[in-house]
Amino acid sequence: MSEPIRGAMLLPAVRTDITLQTDDGLTLVGELSLPESHDPVATLVCLHPLPTAGGFMDSHIIRKAAARLPALADIAVLRFNFRGVTSPRGTSEGAFGHGDDEALDLAAAMRFVVEQGLPDPWLLGWSFGTEVALKHGLEHPVVGAILLSPPLHRTSQHEVAAWAGSGKRLVVVVPELDDYLRPAEARERFAVVPEAELVDVEGGKHLWVGDNQTSRVLTEIVARLNPALLPLPTEWPA
């Protein structure tokens, strides 16, 4: 007997509460979720939406990635609260850094990935998290970055253009009905990175609400990190 995979359903994984130490002396709280019975094939480092608008490590797409992808796609998922952010996991020290000081938060997360020997790391940025990924991701040994609903409010064209020729993949997932950056403008803004993959999502919205939009986002992630396991199952043994 099986049941549909939807909503807050939590699939099996080895989940460990972690802390990250930044170079400016802060402790950040987070969680590492690993496949239950074997090694992961890739790693997703999640950068959450805007803290001042309620973004945190439990923002629903990031929470659902951690809940599902270790079991469905053999992917390790690292999620954490940026500085000054509170979630049920706890509060990360510090204060909102407007996308600049968060460079140190990303560096702490990537140091953890390296120390743990986690394979083939990708950044997953959502909204504000895309700004952190674009501004600071090139400094780190990542395969690439997946950008969900990038607003490009805090990222300059120079910072975007730096990804061109970097050897790191850039996947830009743009909702048709986004509140900030829609597909036509996204194609113009990301034209400075000719190798960027732009994915226009018909009917998509900035917050990716609903099971269909969640499934679309998770499918785009797995298509890059472990495409052999597509299509993703829609049911799980009860």
Stretches in the chain below the pLDDT threshold 70:
none
pLDDT at position 136 is 98
Q: What is the pLDDT of residue 103?
A: 98
pLDDT value of position 1: 86
Quote the DSSP letter at residue 100. Answer: T
> How far is residue 30's CA from residue 54's CA, in Å, rounded to a whole number?
17
First to last CA, the chain: 6
What does the pLDDT read at residue 9? 96
User: What is the structure's pLDDT at 125?
Assistant: 98
- Count of Cβ atoms closer than 10 Å to residue 17 Cβ: 10
User: Can you state the angle between helices 60-73 and 211-225, rounded to 10 degrees?
Assistant: 50
Residues in the chain: 238
Instruction: Write down the CATH number for the domain with range 13-229.
Output: 3.40.50.1820
Task: Quote the pLDDT of residue 145.
Answer: 99
The residues, any chain, with a CB within 8 Å of residue 23's CB and separated by 6 or more, are 104, 107, 108
pLDDT of residue 238: 85
**Alpha carbon distances (Å) from 219 to 10, 21, 212:** 17, 32, 11
pTM reported for the whole predicted model: 0.98
C-alpha 227/C-alpha 186 separation (Å) is 25
